[in-house]
Amino acid sequence: MRVCVVGLGKIGLPLAAQYASKGLSVVGSDPDAGLVSDVGRGRCPVVGEKGLALSIRKAVAAGRLEATTDTAAAVREAQVVVVIVPVGLSPDRRPDFSRLDEAAAAVARGLTPGTLVILETTVPVGTTRRRLGPVLEASGLRMGAGFQLAYSPERVSVGQIFADLKRYPKIVGGVDDASRDAAVAFYGRALEARVIAVRDAETAEFVKLAETTYRDVNIALANELAVYADRHGLDSAEAFAAANSQPYSHLHQPGVGVGGHCIPVNPYLLMAEGPSLRLPALAREVNDSMAAYGVGKLEEALGGLRGRKVLILGLAYRPNVREAADSSTFALARGLEARGARALVHDPLFSAREVEAAGLRPAEPFPPPDVDALVIQALHDQYRGLDLGAFAGCRVVLDGRNALSRAEVEARGMLYLGIGR
């Protein structure tokens, strides 16, 4: 079996390596010629994905993984095509299909009879059948009769993709029964996880949107309760831990916002057909407001922010991952600067030049002299055991993830601010 993976990004490339590790012949296609060159030489262009560099080296050396910029040619030689290119949001928070449409058109140019095409990108319900299918039919082949088409959502997290591929069941739905069954058979061969077949492609699309929106809504609930706890002088961390001792309570961790490729984006894909869903919309509003809430706590504690210097620790959207997609740091920095503060950003996983390229002020040198406040946004392992005494002049620590010890902060003579604490 020859497999073409369309899109060699931070998820597509590990998928290609995974398929190759199961003995399949894999060609990855991507418009990035430099990335394609690296993969072809057995080099790993993705930083921080556990096991990926070794998997690529082994697969290339064994002749089971190659890469190309010519998607149509790669598809022409494949029996299975897995499409994993991003669908993001436009500035008005509508689905941006531009990269998917471009990839689909390239796949159509190489599509041959009997090929199984599987979409893994997170998309609005109906995209596989109503958008991808018609584009592929430009090949002259009919969906279901000339080629098979299925949807299977990726359910992995950057930094732990190979582990997630093993532990999370693979959800599969097709535009017809034959497409679904073909996709189930493929994943049974390419993965080790259990495969769950659902009724159709639309159900499989809905699964991914529902599970990530569930998390967003529950984080919003935790944030609302944390604001309530602050207002009434309560410690939400203590209360949540006690509440979660009851098996039906699963209160999440509050914080200064929600980042990443999925949780801040997928609710908008779910709501793409119109504002008929009230809770997801409200959850987005609540979670997007938490950075401003944290900035407000700092402003009150410092007696104003104009002329203050505030250091934000962590550009990444979560700890120990070199990825800044929709990181809360951007909203924190904007909020601080709007109130007259000077926001500095440090992250051990990003260079000062990368921080600057993201439109932020890098903290150079580190620790910077004379900061008025610290904000913990992503507590990387490198920050654990951080010497707070090294930050001269710091009076306030905003623990945006409730990850520090209040006693240790206060022992340094600094004011501790948590979210709901």
Task: Determine the Cα–Cα distance for residues 201 and 206; give it in Å rounded to an integer.
Answer: 9
Return phi, psi of residue 399, to 5°. Answer: -85, 85
214 contacts 250 by C-beta, under 8 angstroms: no
Total Cβ atoms within 10 A of residue 2: 13
Half-sphere exposure of 118 (CA within 13 A, CB side): 29
Which is it for strands 25-29 and 65-68: parallel, antiparallel or unpaired?
parallel
Helices (H), 194-260: 201-231, 236-243
Confirm whether 262 is a catalytic residue.
yes
Task: Determine the Cα–Cα distance for residues 212 and 403; give it in Å rounded to an integer.
Answer: 23
The alpha-carbon radius of gyration of the chain (Å, integer) is 23
For 322, residues 6+ apart whose C-beta sits below 8 A from its C-beta are 47, 48, 316, 349, 350
Task: Determine the Cα–Cα distance for residues 404 and 388; give it in Å rounded to an integer.
Answer: 11
H or E element, residue 137: none
Token reading at 291: 């950075």
Total Cβ atoms within 10 A of residue 227: 18
Total Cβ atoms within 10 A of residue 411: 11
H or E element, residue 373: strand 373-376
Return phi, psi of residue 82, to 5°. Answer: -110, 120
Smallest Cα–Cα separation from 42: which of 52, 30, 29, 32? Answer: 52
Task: Determine the Cα–Cα distance for residues 220 and 190; give it in Å rounded to an integer.
Answer: 37
Half-sphere exposure of 88 (CA within 13 A, CB side): 10
Token reading at 257: 């916002």
Q: Is 366 exposed, middle or buried (0-12, 13-18, 19+ CB in 10 A)?
A: middle
Q: Is 75 exposed, middle or buried (0-12, 13-18, 19+ CB in 10 A)?
A: buried
Selected catalytic residue, list 4, 44, 262, 394 = 262
Which residues are tagged catalytic? 262
